[in-house]
Amino acid sequence: MHATVDDVAALAGVSTATVSRCLNDPDRVLPATRKKVMEAIRTLNYSPNFGARALASRRTGIIGAVVPTLENAVFAHGIDAFEHALPEGKFALLVASYGYDPQREREQIEALVARGADGLLLVGFDRDPAIYEWLAIRKVPYVLAWACGDAHPYAGFDNVAGIVAMVRLVLDLGHRNISMLSGLTAGNDRARNRLEGARALLAEKGLSFRGVAEVPYGLENGAKAFAELMADRAVTAVVCGNDVLAAGALRAAHRMGLRVPEDVTITGFDDIDIASITFPELTTVRVPHKRMGQEAAALLQQLIDGKSGQSILLPTKIVARGTHAPPPSCRNA
């Protein structure tokens, strides 16, 4: 069927070992013989068998990424950047998603490892310790992203710091009756840290949320929850756990005839594309997704090469656009 090393070796008049070297470590073979071999490879239209190579070399050049969903632009962009940062041709990216279901995440991790992944990119820290143990036993290097912590290698950011900065901004504007529209926190440390971080800052000021809603990712979920939160007429600001929820809230506000930011302040988190498409444009927390993907790729390669890579903490930043303002009570009528 397909040409093998033997065919190539025969045609080039060398041994299979030399052919293999030409492919994997060209410098260790004389230019002259290399030329012969490469020519034989071309004429035979030869390409190495993946399984055989993986079996013999004990690595696949495949890196696995397990994310909640690609429907969330945050992960789609991060993965995209991650993939671009992988050394051309040396690695390929195996992508799996789990729809925010922890059980399914575990299966996906196992599936990728079973597929021979040399390393893994995972989202957040929150998962069954057994998974980390299993990974340790299998000696599969991994990098966590979109969060930070000292228990595992990561390339991420501090969700608490991000939300705290945002809530501080809202407080500084004069808001005291604030509600939070959070993503589902179960098994999601990013959402949980954002919610708890905000709560903690409020507590520090002797305040607490007027209301808290926890809803699944999605525009309509955000819209619906916002309407419910605003049933409390005292609320003057709604801090959202992510941009999609915030965009949904904004839409609901329009429908309800509420002016943003005059009647109500709405803030997001992530700074994905939609944040600058809404009207008015969304005030949100910028997360360096692209840079994070790149750093994660670099770190993971270190680990795969057996080096002891250094985790990296990226800064988040408030992007003040058009959906925030002082509460009505603090303004001249």
Partner DNA sequence: TTGTATGCGTTATCAG
Partner DNA sequence: CTGATAACGCATACAA
Instruction: Kindly state whether residue 76 participates in binding a copy of itself, applying the rule CB under 8 A.
Output: yes
Contacts of 35 (CB under 8 A, 6+ apart): none
* Residue placing its CB nearer to a copy of itself in the complex, 95 or 299: 95
* Residue placing its CB nearer to a copy of itself in the complex, 101 or 232: 101
> CB of 280 within 8 A of CB of 299?
no
What backbone torsions phi and psi does residue 53 show, to the nearest 5 degrees?
-65, -45
Q: Which residues of 203-223 are buried (b: 16+ CB within 10 A; e: fewer)?
A: eeeebebbbbbbbebebebbb
Binding residues for DNA (CB under 7 A): 1-2, 4-6, 13-21, 23-24, 27-30, 32-34, 46-49, 51-53, 55-57
Write the CA distances from 265 to 181, 241, 271, 282, integer angstroms. 12, 14, 16, 10
How large is the C-alpha radius of gyration of the chain? 26
| Residue 16 interacting entry, from DNA, a copy of itself, none, C-beta within 5 to 8 Å by type | DNA
Q: Least distance to a copy of itself from the beta carbon of 104, Å?
A: 9
Residue given tokens 């290097």 in the structure block: 141
CA dihedral 54, 51, 108, 303 (to 10 degrees): 10
Task: Determine which residue in the list 131, 165, 173, 219 makes contact with a copy of itself, applying CB under 8 A.
Answer: 219
Instruction: Kindly state whether residue 24 participates in binding a copy of itself, applying the rule CB under 8 A.
Output: no
Instruction: Kindly state whether residue 45 participates in binding a copy of itself, applying the rule CB under 8 A.
Output: yes
Token output for 189 = 């440390």
Instruction: Kindly state whether residue 15 participates in binding a copy of itself, applying the rule CB under 8 A.
Output: no
Task: Determine which residue in the list 163, 244, 245, 252 makes contact with a copy of itself, applying CB under 8 A.
Answer: 244
Token output for 85 = 């940062």
> CB of 160 within 8 A of CB of 196?
yes
Tell me, residue by residue from 170 to 209, as one string, x for binding to a copy of itself by CB under 8 A and - for no binding.
----------------------------------------
Task: Determine which residue in the list 40, 85, 113, 202 makes contact with a copy of itself, applying CB under 8 A.
Answer: 113
Q: Which residues of 24-59 are buried (b: 16+ CB within 10 A; e: fewer)?
A: eeeeebeeebbebbbebbeebebebeeeebeeeeee
Instruction: Please identify, among the stretches 24-32, 68-76, 308-316, 320-328, the one whose residues bind a copy of itself according to the rule CB under 8 A.
Output: 68-76
| Residue 17 interacting entry, from a copy of itself, DNA, none, C-beta within 5 to 8 Å by type | DNA
* Residue placing its CB nearer to a copy of itself in the complex, 129 or 206: 129
What whole-number distance in Å separates Cα of residue 202 and Cα of residue 135? 38
| Residue 71 interacting entry, from DNA, a copy of itself, none, C-beta within 5 to 8 Å by type | a copy of itself
Instruction: Please identify, among the stretches 52-60, 120-128, 229-237, 311-319, the one whose residues bind a copy of itself according to the rule CB under 8 A.
Output: 52-60
Q: Which residues of 292-331 are buried (b: 16+ CB within 10 A; e: fewer)?
A: bbbbbbbbbbbbbeeeebebbebebebbebebbbbbeeee
Q: Least distance to DNA from the beta carbon of 321, Å?
A: 52
Residues engaged in binding a copy of itself (CB under 8 A): 2, 45, 47-56, 58, 60-62, 69-71, 73, 76-77, 79-80, 83-84, 88-89, 92-97, 99, 107, 110-116, 137-138, 219, 244, 247, 250-251, 254, 273-274, 276-279
